[in-house]
């Protein structure tokens, strides 16, 4: 367990492609009810525009949160871009966003290509950097799964959603509330969620994301509750002391099973999968932003898990964060 | 300028593909002398094995440095993999390496897809994490440029080299010597060094790394000396107080121009480009490891710059680091 006591989330903004899909009309009639019951996905956003990129979504979210918080761009000292659908293999999309957002040049900017656990990884890195720099920065997490999947494969196209998010991270000397983090990796399951190509001159045949849902479910149910209990105990927290539990929005069936295994009260588990689908690294900030707009002074447990296998859990404090209204482009 | 006073480099190991290329015989006779004079590349390693991956090189380097330092694998708390030629678009290569190296599961592991500035970025992240965790970890930086370039294009195939490195990072409470870091990004030059594809189902036609050498040269000569002077001054160092200057090994012409502009004594600038070519994120650890084997207690300035544009400069202290002998696979 690792701690941080001087960084906070000041706000979150979310941007999605305007193409909203209603699964009741999108999916074949005979299996639609069962699919929606299992995954929990009623609506979601999938781009129908080939030219739209993950950086386009994160750019809009970043501009919005900077404006909402009245930040001066010259004060932004770092930019971390978390995504599995980066604009180019090289250069880093973070560099492209630095220029597009017209941020200062003496900025630290890099990409972290992580999925389900990516937001918590990005948050930990942002917290460490903001303390070291005694400054503020942007954590941009987003994925356009529409690029990775076969849109004719209903099991995938009905589940995933595109989204970009911007989370504003601030150093606060006076913040005395501790955040707690824990991380894990088990590469033995690397091929259960994979895009089986390096992306370099791989023109053999069209490739799509491959997912062994049963194996991922088995891993998550086995590993995540144990690690969450450990973190609660080591940080001297309990289920009672946590206001909300925010899981990576994998699918409703898995989230229900996790909640049950941990014995969580239903009202403490919040969701975005019904309206956004599985949005990969964007799922945790979306769930925060879309459910907690009028809330204040909260202690939240967030947990990302999946591709890698990789998992990350944190207990964070939210004090008057500003959650922006949803943007569509 | 950002500081750290509790992390050190304990050792470095380097691994290259066994296919060594001598530019005198590899390149066309009529331009070979001028090419070698300009780039400085006499020999380098380029894989002729399609199946060899960047993780293969970094795996060997990691095993070697763990053995050389007598580290217990159960003590390794983090693994950062810096590369532009990752094994898969997803999952992270760091997860695959966790499993292959048989490291513990409660480990933080992620990729940073950065090139020329990547090692310094990885080092900064490693230092922050090792202090926060009060623990040790591995920074694996490597690239197989042979996958990104057209091997029939002599200007590219004569310049770049494949390599994987492992740098062991250790938290040392008693280390009171400060390290200094500075970072910069200018995405306006993003398309002057680019692999113009996201890597996702891009089967239009074969793509190669595109480089506008003149523009990169112009950027580096304009930006890097100014930033190095600033860091020296802010950290109360001078050219005299630094034992060695280690630049990203872009090409000899650029390195000579940088040394001249900064007024560096020739004996303080060390190289690996003559024997390894431009090895991207691996170039700085290779240059340290292959030149400083018998040295001790050194103050070194390292500087990576290029693709992005992105640059990063650090002043670090080396106290009895262990540099392994070169591995070839």
Report CB contact under 8 Å: A128, B133.
no
Chain A hits for B308, CB-CB cut-off 8 Å, are 91-92, 95, 109
**Between A90, A97, A124, which is nearest B115 by CB?**
A90
For testing contact with chain A, the best of B62, B85, B185, B211 (most A CBs within 10 A): B185
> Which residues in B lie closer than 8 A to residue A182 (C-beta atoms)?
106
Confirm if A212 and A197 have CB atoms less than 8 A apart: no
B108 contacts in A (CB within 8 Å)? 121, 124, 183, 185, 312
Residues in chain A closer than 8 A to B207 (CB atoms): 201
Q: Minimal Cα distance from B131: which residue of A?
A: A128
Instruction: Identify the CA nearest to A158 among candidates A145, A141, A177, A173.
Output: A145
In this predicted complex, what is the ipTM?
Answer: 0.97
Rounded distance between C-alpha atoms, residue A282 and residue A58, angstroms: 10
Tokens representing residue A327 in the block: 């943007």
Cα separation values, B174 from B10, B78, B314, Å: 14, 21, 20
Mean pLDDT, chain B, integer? 96
The three-point CA angle A249-A255-A256 to 5° equals 150
Q: Which residues contact A221 (CB under 8 A, 6 or more apart)?
A: A254, A257, A258, A261
Q: What is the pLDDT of residues B50-65, one digit of tens each?
A: 899 999 999 999 999 9
Nearest chain A Cα to B183, which residue? A108
User: Which tokens go with B136?
Assistant: 């040790």
| Angle, helix B32-39 to helix B252-262, in steps of 10 degrees | 40
Which of A141, A140, A135, A139 lies closest to A170, judged by CA?
A135
Per-residue model confidence as pLDDT tens for chain A (329 residues) = 888 888 999 999 999 999 999 999 999 888 999 999 999 999 999 999 889 999 999 999 999 999 999 999 999 999 999 999 999 999 999 999 999 999 999 999 999 999 999 999 999 999 999 999 999 999 999 999 999 999 999 999 999 999 999 999 999 887 678 999 999 999 999 999 999 999 998 766 788 999 999 999 999 999 999 999 999 999 999 999 999 999 999 999 999 999 999 999 999 999 999 999 999 999 999 999 999 998 889 999 999 999 999 999 999 999 889 999 999 99
Contact B147 A201 (CB under 8 A): yes
Q: Quote the CATH superfamily of domain A1-329.
A: Thiolase/Chalcone synthase (3.40.47.10)
A111 interaction partners in chain B (CB closer than 8 Å): 112-114
Cβ contact B91–A194 (<8 Å)? yes
Interface contact flag, B190 A107, Cβ < 8 Å: no
C-alpha B320/C-alpha A102 separation (Å) is: 43
- Across the interface, whether the CB atoms of A99 and B186 are under 8 A apart is answered yes
Q: Which string of b and e fits A250-279 if b means at least 16 CB within 10 Å?
A: bbbebbebbbeebebeeebbbbbbbbbbbb
* Confidence band, pLDDT 50/70/90 cuts, at residue B205: confident
CA-based nearest residue to B208, from B162, B143, B147: B147
Q: Nearest residue on chain B to A150, judged by CA atoms?
A: B201
| CB pair distance less than 8 Å for A90 and B202 | no
Query: Which token pair is B44?
Result: 């380098």
The rounded Cα B74 to chain-centroid distance in angstroms is 26
What confidence score (pLDDT) does residue A136 get? 97
Rounded distance between C-alpha atoms, residue B96 and residue B59, angstroms: 10
Residues 6+ apart with CB under 8 A from B199: A89, A197, A198, A199, A200, A202, B89
Q: Is the peptide bond before B309 cis (omega within 30 degrees of 0)?
A: yes
């Amino acid at each position: 367990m690792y701690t941080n006591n001087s960084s906070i989330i000041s706000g979150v903004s979310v941007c999605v492609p305007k193409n909203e899909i209603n699964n009741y009309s999108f999916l074949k009639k005979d299996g639609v009810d069962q699919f929606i019951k299992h995954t929990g996905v009623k609506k979601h956003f999938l781009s129908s525009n080939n030219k739209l990129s993950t950086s386009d979504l994160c750019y809009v979210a970043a501009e919005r949160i900077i404006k909402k918080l009245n930040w001066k761009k010259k004060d932004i000292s770092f930019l971390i871009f978390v995504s599995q659908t980066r604009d180019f293999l090289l250069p880093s999309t973070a560099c492209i966003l630095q220029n597009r957002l017209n941020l200062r040049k003496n900025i630290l900017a890099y990409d972290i290509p992580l999925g389900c656990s990516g937001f918590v990884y990005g948050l930990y890195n942002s917290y460490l950097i903001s303390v070291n720099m005694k400054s503020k920065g942007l954590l941009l997490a987003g994925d356009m799964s529409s690029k990775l999947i076969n849109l004719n494969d209903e099991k995938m196209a009905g589940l995933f959603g595109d989204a970009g998010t911007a989370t504003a991270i601030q150093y606060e000397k006076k913040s005395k509330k501790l955040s707690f983090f824990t991380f894990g990796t088990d590469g033995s399951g690397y091929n259960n969620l994979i895009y089986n190509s390096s992306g370099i001159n791989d023109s053999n045949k069209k490739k799509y994301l491959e997912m062994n849902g049963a194996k991922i479910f088995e891993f998550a149910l086995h590993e995540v509750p144990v690690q969450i209990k450990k973190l609660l105990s080591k940080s001297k927290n309990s289920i009672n002391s946590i206001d909300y539990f925010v899981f990576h929005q994998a699918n409703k069936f898995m989230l229900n099973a996790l909640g049950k295994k941990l014995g969580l009260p239903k009202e403490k588990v919040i969701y975005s999968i019904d309206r956004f689908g599985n949005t990969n690294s964007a799922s945790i900030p979306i769930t925060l932003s879309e459910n907690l707009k009028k809330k204040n002074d909260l202690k939240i447990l967030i947990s990302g898990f999946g591709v890698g296998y990789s998992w990350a859990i944190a207990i964070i404090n939210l004090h008057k964060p500003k959650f922006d209204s949803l943007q569509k482009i």
